[in-house]
Amino acid sequence: MDAQKSTASSEFDLYLAQCRDLVIEEIKDIVPADERYGPVLYDLMLEYPLRRAKGFRPALCMATCRALGGHLEQTLRTAAVLEMYHNAFLIHDDVEDGSLKRRGGPTLHQTYGVPIAVNVGDAMLALSLQPLLDNMALLGLGKALRILQMVAEMARQSAEGQALELFWIRQGRWGLEDDDYRHLVHKKTGWYTFVAPILIGAIIAGVEDERQETLRQLCWDLGIAFQITDDVLNLVANENAYGKEINGDLWEGKHTLILMHAMRQATDAQRAQHGATLRKARHEKTPQEVADLRALIDDKGSIGYAQEIAAAHAKAAAEHLRATADWMPPSIHRAFIQELVQRVTSRLA
């Protein structure tokens, strides 16, 4: 059994690496090689994509398409666009959150300043339009328009999710329930991490709408399990392996399930104390205040609570994937998706 797991793991990593290599080359092809604007714009677009990263969003798009009978050349360009959107979102998120570290290095705005970072993110989104329009020649008008519609919905959902969290932070809203968190995560993370990659892969492969509904349910549970696990890793991971700042969510006042649970379980005095800390901007917080927040989380068992909910959603996602067995036959592509579902929470092991 251990040998089988090891083989599956190595095949997963190889598949992921191969997809990443293809996508990076595609992104390099999309980003103009321009002597005048390269040093001030286009070269900077490659900073985040070329840093150490898994690139599983485009890999998931390609794997879904191929698992359902589509072909690599039909999906590679669109998969690269999804990775560009992801990196543009990261640049903007880092500015909005005041993050210091991304993928093992300083955030773009820390190195070049906020105005340049924002412009690089904007330009990446602008460059992403033409490859999607090129799908009309590659895939036909119908599929190209459906993909454009999906990307437009993804962008709107992601922006609404980010707006909601920023509003909660600004208002100091901590009287929230788990379903509020699920709603936030599905919009902010789930859509561009799972819904768009998987459903675009299915659209390219020509999957019927009723079967896409099963994939939507898979994405719902997978996205929540993924984000909860990432929230946990932000508190417990090895920083060198994680690539981001440990306890960064506490410094930034992120509305994680962990912190929301801790605040619900806190006494009135604790809520007043820690609520005041969370309302402060990052640069106003002290290390001791962040340490006190972490102590509250540990005292209330909030990490364990979040892990249990993540495990339940991961289990549901696996059940949704099993429901596709009749029309997504065994292949290395399906095996990749299955292993990804299993890895969502096992990242904590």
60 exposure class (CB count in 10 Å sphere: 0-12, 13-18, 19+): buried
Using DSSP's 3-state secondary structure scheme, residue 11 falls into helix
Q: pTM of this prediction?
A: 0.91
Instruction: Tell me the C-alpha distance between 136 and 146, whole Å.
Output: 10
Whether the CB-CB separation of 154 and 195 falls below 8 Å is answered with yes
% pLDDT > 70, the chain: 95
Instruction: Tell me the C-alpha distance between 31 and 159, whole Å.
Output: 24
Whether the CB-CB separation of 310 and 185 falls below 8 Å is answered with no
What residue numbers bound the domain in which 272 lies? 2-346
Using DSSP's 3-state secondary structure scheme, residue 247 falls into coil
Bridge partners (DSSP) listed for residue 106: 101
pLDDT of residue 13: 92
Bridge partners (DSSP) listed for residue 101: 106
pLDDT of residue 14: 94
Query: Quick one: average pLDDT of 16-36?
Result: 95
% pLDDT > 90, the chain: 81
pLDDT value at 4 more than 60: no
pLDDT of residue 8: 63
Instruction: Tell me the C-alpha distance between 128 and 92, whole Å.
Output: 16
Q: How many domains does the chain have?
A: 1
CATH of the domain at 123: 1.10.600.10
φ, ψ dihedrals at 33, nearest 5°: -95, 95
Summarize pLDDT for 98-111 with one digit per residue, the tens: 888 898 899 999 99
pLDDT value at 240 more than 70: no
Q: Name the average pLDDT for the chain.
A: 92
Count of residues making up the chain: 349
Instruction: Tell me the C-alpha distance between 225 and 97, whole Å.
Output: 22
Instruction: Tell me the C-alpha distance between 20 and 147, whole Å.
Output: 21
Contacts of 198 (CB under 8 A, 6+ apart): 60, 61, 64, 215, 218, 219
